[in-house]
Amino acid sequence: MTDITTVKQRFGIIGTSPLLDRALEVALRVAPTDLTVLVTGESGVGKEFFPQVIHAYSARKHNKYIAVNCAAIPEGTIDSELFGHEKGAFTGALEARKGYFEEADGGTIFLDEVAELPHSTQARLLRVLQTGEFIRVGSSKVQKTNVRVVAATNVNLQEAIAKGRFREDLYYRLGTVPILVPSLRERPEDIPLLFRRFAADVAAQYRMPAVTLDDSAREMLMRYYWRGNIRQLKNVAEQISAIEQTRVISAEVLAKYLPPQGGGAPMAAGAPHTDDMTTERELLYKVLFDMRADINDLKRMMAELIQGAGRCPEPVRDIKALLPSTAQSSFIPAVPACPPQAPVYAESEVVTDEPPREMTKADMQREQIVRALRRNNGRRREAAAELFMSERTLYRKIKELGIEDNS
């Protein structure tokens, strides 16, 4: 069997953690087979190296290796990208085109961010995994392909299945052999090695001396909670190398480049991260709904006052007592008796007594998306950019929340 050290040197993988060695060992053992592999781990841990290792040490190494980022392809075209289309299948399909599964026939295809696939595409992918058959968009002819599928995601697929966002049968088909890539905080002994490598790369690229860490900075680096994992560590190393004049970094200097950790519990892979903007938005919606309840109370009070105004007041026996002392007039007009009148309401005003309703997360998401679409005149690309989400994620949210039918 190939030595793990050789694999690390070939692919530039740095680390001596037992968890990392175990993940590489599983990848090497499964490489000669055609079993489907599911690589999981947090964002920024280096999941993309494992499909390359599996392909390089498999019998398919001389054939094509195609990596596909499922989250970067719009929902409306992802079927065409993966499975191809026929000429005239849709507007703009001027000629027939092969999909990735057809192009990778005999090789390996890597599906990154597989949890972002829409349900219709998940069903197509399940059929390819089970039978090796697929149909181009706009065609009725069944075609065969022979590909090795390696998928990766940073989403907790068990939670996605529970929420109905991912097919359970597809999960078990993809996860024939699971590989869990450890996060950076699970391998703290590798952090100084990675920092030194990134600093050396920057120094070689820009012809400058490489930065080094003193003992206090090294200890701080190992104790820090790296939410962005290796990607975040690389950014910190590049910033320090480019900005700091001193080449020996102390803990005081390093602290300026490490964002506050927040003091919260570690965030699990795939768990949603609630930022300050979301919290502020939830508080704002709560205030608005409290105001709505107050308005309902005011409507009810106005209705009672209007009903009370319709009744005839008691006649005043001594009206002089109601007049100011400076009044000089001796003429006191008679107070006519008023007949009882029915309460009068404005035609456009409907007095309702609506109980305050708790604002759910789905309601907040719906309101946020509807407002963004209105501000951008229905242009979904601009609305997605305003909401800081991908266009495919916005399409999925619109379908899940039923906004197309209601807006």
81-99 pLDDT, tens digit each: 999 999 988 888 899 999 9
Q: Where does 70-157 show beta strands of DSSP type E? A: 108-112, 133-135, 142-144, 148-153
Of 201 and 302, the structure prediction assigns the larger pLDDT to 201
CATH architecture of 185-255: Orthogonal Bundle (1.10)
Mean pLDDT of 53-58: 96
What is the pLDDT, as a whole number, of residue 355? 53
Distance from C-alpha of 230 to C-alpha of 90, rounded to nearest angstrom: 42
The kind and range of the H/E element at 110 are strand 108-112
Mean pLDDT of 159-171: 95
DSSP labels, 305-344: HHHHHTSPPPPPS-GGGGS-TT---------PPPPP----
Query: Which range has the top average pLDDT, 121-135, 329-343, 357-371?
Result: 121-135
Helix axes 4-11, 49-56, angle to 10 degrees: 120
Q: Where are the domains of the chain?
A: 4-182, 185-255, 278-290+353-407
CATH architecture of 278-290+353-407: Orthogonal Bundle (1.10)
175-217 pLDDT, tens digit each: 999 999 999 999 999 999 999 999 999 999 999 999 999 999 9
Q: Per CATH, is 4-182 categorized as 3.40.50.300? A: yes
Structure tokens at 329: 């007039």
**77: Cα separation from own chain's centroid:** 20
Query: Is 60 exceeded by the pLDDT of residue 146?
Result: yes
DSSP 298: H
The kind and range of the H/E element at 66 are strand 65-69
CATH topology agreement for domains 4-182 and 278-290+353-407: no
DSSP 43: T
pLDDT band at 349 (very low <50, low <70, confident <90, very high): very low
Mean pLDDT of 164-183: 96
Would you say 191 and 232 are in contact if contact means Cβ atoms under 8 Å apart? Answer: no
45: left (phi > 0), else alpha (psi -120 to 50), else beta?
alpha
Helix axes 191-206, 229-243, angle to 10 degrees: 40
Of 298 and 150, the structure prediction assigns the larger pLDDT to 150
Residue 194: name the closest of 343, 372, 17, 369 by CA: 17
Contacting residues for 399 by C-beta, under 8 A, at least 6 apart: none
Query: Is 50 exceeded by the pLDDT of residue 316?
Result: no
What is the pLDDT, as a whole number, of residue 92? 85
Would you say 184 and 229 are in contact if contact means Cβ atoms under 8 Å apart? Answer: yes
Of 170 and 371, the structure prediction assigns the larger pLDDT to 170
What is the pLDDT, as a whole number, of residue 332? 47
